[in-house]
Amino acid sequence: MPTHDLPPLEAVLTTAEGIEVRPYTAGFAAMVHGPGHDPAELPHLGVALMRPHSRGRVRLASANPAVAPVIEHRYDTVAEDVDALRRGAELARELVSHTAEVGDAFWSTSQHLAGTAPMGTGPDAVLDPTCRVLGVEGLWVVDGSIMPAITSRGPHATIAMIGHRAAEFLSI
């Protein structure tokens, strides 16, 4: 993804409890569309919980493939996760409040989802070890959904590796 010469992150602070405080140089709209696209998208701090306890769910709404699935993120369904994020937001505020004006915290997500079509041999597996969908001839899934758990860092490198490895399976 081009960032219009705006580096998304310059540093990341990771706490012992798995919270990341990320100073973004600009908002995501500015990185995608260029500076000036959205004046409200200013540099900001993001607070992320890298190993959440909450788990979302994807279910089929219909047997018709044209009907979108029901996606339940459930981000804030585990009190321990909410408490950890609150502590992370307090830390972020403490870090910058002496040098910058600090606005109100707000809730959003930048998490990359995983595990909706896990690969493996266990009872929850949807894919075989070569990324083929079990029970469906000629269909593979090659993205972050095949990971059985959320990565503790950004998933880009992991998903790129999955793609390279899966390309070997597809060319066999």
**What is the predicted pLDDT for the residue at 81?**
92
Share of the chain above pLDDT 90, in %: 31
Which one is catalytic: 33, 37, 44, 112? 112
Residue 2, pLDDT above cutoff 80: no
Model pLDDT for residues 54-92, shown as the tens digit of each residue? 888 888 999 999 999 998 888 889 999 999 999 999 999
Name residue, tokens 């044209």: 66
The strand pairing partners of 47, in sequence order, are: 21
Strand ranges, E, within the chain: 13-14, 19-24, 44-49, 57-59, 70-72
Separation between Cα atoms, residue 8 and residue 24, nearest integer Å: 6
Say whether 112 is catalytic.
yes
pLDDT in tens, 108-146: 766 677 888 888 888 889 999 999 999 999 999 999 899
> Cβ distance 112 to 106 under 8 Å?
no
Instruction: In whole angstroms, give the CA distance from residue 97 to residue 170.
Output: 52
Q: Tokens 């959003």 belong to which residue?
A: 108
| Residue 152 token pair | 């503790």
pTM score, whole prediction: 0.71
